[in-house]
Amino acid sequence: MKQLFSISKAIVALAALFFVFPSEGHASSLLKNGDSNAEVKELQKQLIELDYLDTDATGHYGPLTEQAVRNFQSDFDLVVDGITGVATHSLLEEIHKLARIVYGEARGETFEGQVAVAAVALNRVESDEFPSTLAGVIYQRNAFTAVHDGQYDLSPDATAYQAVREAYKGNDPSQGALYYFNPAIATSEWIQTRTIERTIGNHAFAN
């Protein structure tokens, strides 16, 4: 999966800055089995939203949380050790950022439409026309209405997280699109000139 491979490369590069070696257990800051704190609770909330953990967020890092982390790591080609080190934490944060975009931009759309919006952001990371990091893509000037109008600050729901998970795993209903817009309300003449690859719900996905 091209997208997942490139995102993983970025995470590995980031992890190297923190002196992470073959196992995440060498990270300068980590969460592991036996830990109990607020950070563990936040981790559990993310794992629950992504459908990796089917229990309450208790704040205690036990066997269920460890297995959930292992499953997440396996799905996203990370070192599978059940420890939430720099690489795992960084990827979870990337997913959270993208879920905020999906929720802010497309929460009224179908699940497929939400996956497509997430895929567009990941397609931009792959493209030479855009910044090479997800954060760069998200915060690029005028890139996403949700960032401009404050909806990016809303808390994403489980559907947004699931849509992002699908996009990271290579599902791209946008058919490789780099742009999307609502033809009924778009005012940009330039965006109207783009080649539409597919229309899903209220959004046209284009290149």
Q: How many CA atoms lie within 13 A of 205 on its CB side?
A: 25
| Residue 106 pLDDT | 95
- The sign one gets for the Cα dihedral 15, 5, 61, 26 is negative
In the chain, the domains with their CATH numbers are 92-206 (1.10.10.2520)
Q: Is the pLDDT of residue 19 over 60?
A: no
Residues 77-131 have pLDDT tens digits of 999 999 999 999 999 999 999 999 999 999 999 999 999 999 999 999 999 999 9
Share of residues in the chain with pLDDT > 70 (%): 86
CB 114 within 8 A of CB 159: yes
| Residue 187 pLDDT | 84
